[in-house]
Amino acid sequence: MKKLYLATYEWEGGICLASDGKTLQAAGFDPDRVVSRLRKHFPRCRIEWNPAKLETVLRQLEEYLQGERKAFDVPVHLRGTRFQLRVWNEIRKIPYGQTETYGNIAKALGDVRLSRAVGRAVGTNPVPLIIPCHRVVGTRDRLGGYLGGPAVKKRLLELEGVGSL
């Protein structure tokens, strides 16, 4: 039986992280949603609270939130469609302190008409912050949606020094 480990980091209501001890499997701002996602992919897994198994990602998260880290380098196991994986990989290229629009990501993928599909893929990001989907904004500097809510997205962008949105 597969074992998965959970930990939370207290910031703006909490960030829940899940790992198999080797790779980050999920992250999110709602622990119930994170556990639900894990149960979907691993129906017979055993989930236990064990922050020691997530020590590296917890440390990197703290460094990021204190402004000492600009990117995460923890191994992540991503599950998604080929299109979602392409979108998430494109999002990873957005530098710290910068933003990109859904349309520009679609354009980078080869078809500007895919901006709504890009938005849906952004909304299913299994590891927000690690894949920095908070850096994806709407046209004309509209904030756009975020898994942690607009206030958290705004706070993260401010933390990175992004001007007002």
Residues 146, 138: Cα–Cα separation, whole Å: 11
pLDDT at 14: 86
Contact 159, 148 (CB under 8 A): no
What is the percent of the chain with per-residue pLDDT over 90, rounded to a whole number? 79
pLDDT at 150: 86
Exposed / middle / buried, residue 118 (Cβ in 10 Å: 0-12, 13-18, 19+): buried
pLDDT of 165 > 70? The answer is no
| pLDDT band (50, 70, 90) for residue 164 | low
What is the percent of the chain with per-residue pLDDT over 70, rounded to a whole number? 98
Give catalytic residues, as residue numbers. 133
| pLDDT band (50, 70, 90) for residue 120 | very high
Residue 98 in tokens: 């910068």
Q: Give the model confidence (pLDDT) of 4-46 as tens digits.
A: 999 999 887 789 999 999 999 999 998 898 999 899 989 999 9
Q: Give the model confidence (pLDDT) of 84-103 as tens digits.
A: 999 999 999 999 999 999 99
Is the full-model pTM beyond 0.85? yes
User: How many other C-beta atoms lie within 10 A of the C-beta of residue 157?
Assistant: 22
pLDDT of 139 > 90? The answer is no
- CA 108 from chain centre, in angstroms, equals 20
Residue 162 in tokens: 């992004």
Q: Is 70 helix (H, G, I), strand (E, B) or coil?
A: coil
CATH topology of domain 82-159: Arc Repressor Mutant, subunit A (1.10.10)
Reduced DSSP (H G I as helix, E B as strand, rest coil) percent helix, strand, coil of the chain, to 5 = 45, 15, 40
Mean pLDDT in the chain?
92
Task: Name residue 100's beta-bridge partners.
Answer: 136
Residues 143, 141: Cα–Cα separation, whole Å: 6
Each domain of the chain, given as residue ranges in start order, spans 3-65, 82-159
